[in-house]
A and B are shown apart, each in its own frame.
Chain A
């Protein structure tokens, strides 16, 4: 009896130890935004744990470098970020604070995702801050184009396979499954895309440039006179005229901007305000990348119908 008790106890401890080892063996992935985290989770499956710093309903330019994020980063195997200066106001403090050599610049776990995608709005000629909160290396909101979503997934597959080669087949299968799901979703929202294509709209920030590039909607003006610069009355007056002239029916904005100004412009131009999540988790129910794209495309199509 005693022998059986000790045997089963030993077996339990051994099993628990194995489980713990298995859990510890998971790659710890921390990303700057929930979109990167969602794609990483799809590619990594149960071989990775993912966390993200900013939330989908938060302006990713202005994240507070809270020390609690340092605790997340100090044990991370991968730090993946949007790049192009999106996180410049807070990322250096977190990376310095984390003291984690695996994710410092130049290390294998330091992943600038912008290096693997196609970019828009790379400024030509001289760049300075008289042009607003300009991103000299390109527009950083690239995840709002499904082709870049695929590229991000492929990048994660390569990175995870490099860091964890024994599970490379699993990452490859997960990545293929992600693309298959995205392909199927794209076929599903084709009617919505045909509804959107060519239609004039206004947007708050240049974050919708990639979305417009994909859906072929025509952004006739932005609420911001220059990226990151709050709208002035003179600019809004011009925008209202442009919207009337072009027949723009909607103003697309993120949930973290003040709706009052957009409502004012909408009331004067005869358009309506459409608050769209720019990121996964931006509204309830949008919990993965495909759901984000589907939600945004269908909402725009419905508003333009």
Chain B
């Protein structure tokens, strides 16, 4: 309709003496045309959603000030264990952490994510801060900054978003109580040569494991990262397969290596503590692991039924030559005395739309124990009852039994956890 109306306003051969008049008419007609179009647009269309409906096709931006997505997660713990608090803070009731996350596109090539952890123990800590290159070729992605080390399945999940209250003991023992993070570069490439999803993840980070600045209290005579082979490196190959519409399986392998400070015991006869308080030597530590996750969630009943079975097995390989440290300071190497294995099996079944019941079994060898002694193994069994008032809040009741071994007495733990999130909806971890 519009082209024909416009055509009718333009005489095919304008005469010279009437040009000015024609221009004036055309202007007036244009104004009339615009008004007519405005009226037409204001009229509701026949059959269109009527009551309170609004067209959005002509709407403006939803975030005109380009404000990053900001979300906050609170993680509160009540430790009701019969023999006192088992928390690092020693408190019965504690705000374990408040996590502040900001996320936004930087430009057409990068996206930035910042996650700050606030806690009474650590103050403000940079949990993660990285930019991700989103425009790389060959279906690859790269990050620069600090990120969770892509080792195993649960280490990449933030603690507040875990399906249990704490990380499995193998992860706590080999990677740290809050998992392992690293500052460096991250690269990922999707592969699918066999028709199913495979992803290769590679990282190079400043150091492997916690550093002296992070509170280990260990200081070697030279930084572990002095040489390139002292940096932390990791590789992970994810293999994901749909077994059916409702069930899927992920079977992945990971490896990480790096040099990290290990303690040295001073010989009392020799003053081995030097003025710079060097008390450690750098030794290589490597970790290899495999993880398996089976998920079942029928699509139609997915709001009410689901099941997860997850297991991880990892082996810590420690450089432990008795010659370690002799060159740099007098004293006996007091780091890990053996290679150690650890594993857990976790399972969770959804009882109702809001309630899940889970259980976990943990087994970890103590790398500082004698290889021959069975008491070097830690074992624990735990159960969890989760209640989700909504997608944005969670209450968990956890019961854990740590079994006696050697000098270690059995310990029962009873912990309540509440997590709650505000801000834009974050994607559900998968």
Contact = CB atoms under 8 A, between A and B. Distances in A.
B49 A137 contact: no
A65 B427 contact: yes
B2 to A, nearest CB: 16
A89 B56 contact: no
Given A89-B428, A99-B139, A119 B303 contact: no
A213 B49 CA distance: 6
A238 to B, nearest CB: 21
B47 A70 contact: no
Interface residues of A, number: 58
Given A58-B300, A114-B56, A137-B56, A93 B427 contact: yes
B19 interface: no
A255 B197 contact: no
A106 B138 CA distance: 20
B52 A120 contact: yes
Contact of B248 (A66, A71, A129): A66
B134 A147 contact: no
A257 to B, nearest CB: 7
Contact of A145 (B49, B192, B392): B49
Interface string A105-138: 1100000001111111110000001000100011
Contact of A74 (B105, B190, B248): B190
B148 interface: no
Contact of B430 (A66, A122, A129, A214): A66
Interface in B231-265: 238, 240, 242, 245, 248, 250
Nearest to B248: A66
Given A74-B139, A230-B354, A118 B49 contact: yes
Interface string B391-404: 11000000000000
A68 interface: yes
Interface in B55-92: 55-57, 59, 62
A117 B353 contact: no
A302 to B, nearest CB: 23
A17 interface: no
Contacts of B59: 115
Nearest to B141: A99
B321 interface: no
Contact of A101 (B135, B297, B390, B392): B135
Interface residues of B, number: 54
Given A55-B299, A74-B190, A228-B390, A147 B45 contact: yes
A256 interface: yes
Given A229-B390, A256-B303, A118 B54 contact: yes
B199 interface: yes
Interface in B311-357: 353-354
A278 interface: no
A67 B105 contact: no
Nearest to A226: B390
Interface string B290-320: 0000010101111110000000000000000
A203 B52 CA distance: 19
Contacts of B53: 118-120, 213
B1 interface: no
Contact of B242 (A66, A137, A151): A66
B136 interface: yes
A46 B389 CA distance: 47
B54 A146 contact: no
Contacts of B134: 96, 99, 101, 104
Nearest to B52: A120
B299 A213 contact: no
A255 B135 CA distance: 40
A65 B250 CA distance: 13
B46 to A, nearest CB: 8
A119 B54 contact: yes
A122 B54 contact: yes
A189 interface: no
A89 B242 contact: no
Nearest to B51: A213
A100 B139 contact: yes
B197 A70 contact: yes
A214 B354 contact: no
B51 A64 contact: no
Nearest to B242: A68
Given A55-B299, A115-B56, A147-B48, A68 B196 contact: yes
Contacts of B430: 64-67, 90, 93
Contact of A116 (B47, B57, B304, B427): B57
A112 to B, nearest CB: 9
A168 B120 CA distance: 62
B354 to A, nearest CB: 7
A305 B198 CA distance: 54
B301 A117 contact: no
Contact of A121 (B52, B105, B136, B141): B52
B302 A58 contact: yes
A110 B295 CA distance: 30
Nearest to A105: B105
Contacts of A148: 48-49
Nearest to A74: B139
Contacts of A151: 57
B425 interface: yes
A145 B45 CA distance: 13
A57 to B, nearest CB: 5
B108 interface: yes
A99 B300 contact: no
Contacts of B4: none
Contact of A57 (B48, B299, B427, B428): B299
13 contacts: A89-B391, A89-B425, A91-B427, A98-B139, A115-B59, A118-B49, A119-B49, A129-B392, A137-B62, A145-B49, A147-B49, A213-B51, A255-B300
Given A64-B295, A64-B297, A228-B390, 7 more contacts: A58-B299, A62-B428, A93-B430, A105-B105, A106-B108, A118-B48, A129-B392
Interface of B: 45, 47-57, 59, 62, 105, 108, 111, 132, 134-136, 139-141, 190, 192, 196-197, 199, 238, 240, 242, 245, 248, 250, 295, 297, 299-304, 353-354, 390-392, 422, 424-425, 427-428, 430
Interface of A: 55, 57-59, 62, 64-68, 70-71, 74, 85, 88-93, 96-101, 104-106, 114-122, 129, 133, 137-138, 142, 145-148, 151, 210, 213-214, 228-230, 255-258
